[in-house]
């Protein structure tokens, strides 16, 4: 009365269960692939471009810092960059604070 009948599975049901489990995980796997191509890969590319720009900094380059300061690079060391923001006015910032390398001749006032 309270005990239900137990039936054996056929071999086709066992294989169908395996493919059913795989298809249930397919949307999750697809989400991770889309996440990689839309978010992770572009961010890695942006970081690589930023690192190559920081490594290529040289005296005389015109840059913009993360704080919005514009100036010409007057000295470059391993970790810091000295930027001339006005006549006889220089500031020292970390290399990572330099966000944009401007084309030569962009800054006219210096």
Q: What is the CATH number of the domain that holds 94?
A: 2.30.30
Q: Whole-angstrom Cα distance, residue 76 to residue 59?
A: 7
Per-residue pLDDT of the chain (110 residues; tens, 9 = 90+): 678 877 776 655 545 556 677 788 899 999 999 999 999 999 999 999 999 999 999 999 999 999 999 999 999 999 999 999 999 999 999 999 999 999 988 888 65
Q: Which domain holds residue 46?
A: 10-56
Residue 86 sits in the same domain as residue 50:
no
For tokens 């961010």, what's the residue?
43
**Could you tell me if residue 108 is inside a domain?**
no
Work out how many domains the chain is built from and give that number: 2
Nearest to 57 by CA among 105, 2, 94: 94
Claim: this prediction has a pTM higher than 0.95 = no
For tokens 């690589």, what's the residue?
48
- On whether the CB atoms of residues 79 and 94 are closer than 8 A, the answer is yes
Question: DSSP code of 84?
Answer: E
């Amino acid at each position: 009365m309270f005990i239900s009948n137990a039936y054996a599975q056929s071999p086709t049901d066992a294989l169908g269960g395996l493919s059913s489990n795989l298809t249930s995980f397919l949307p999750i796997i697809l989400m991770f692939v889309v996440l990689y191509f839309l978010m992770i890969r572009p961010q890695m590319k942006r970081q690589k471009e930023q690192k190559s720009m920081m490594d290529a900094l040289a005296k005389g380059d015109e840059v913009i810092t993360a704080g919005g300061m514009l100036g010409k690079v007057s000295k470059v060391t391993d970790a810091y960059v000295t930027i001339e923001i006005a006549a006889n006015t220089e500031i020292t910032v970390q290399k990572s604070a330099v966000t944009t390398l401007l084309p030569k001749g962009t800054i006219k006032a210096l």
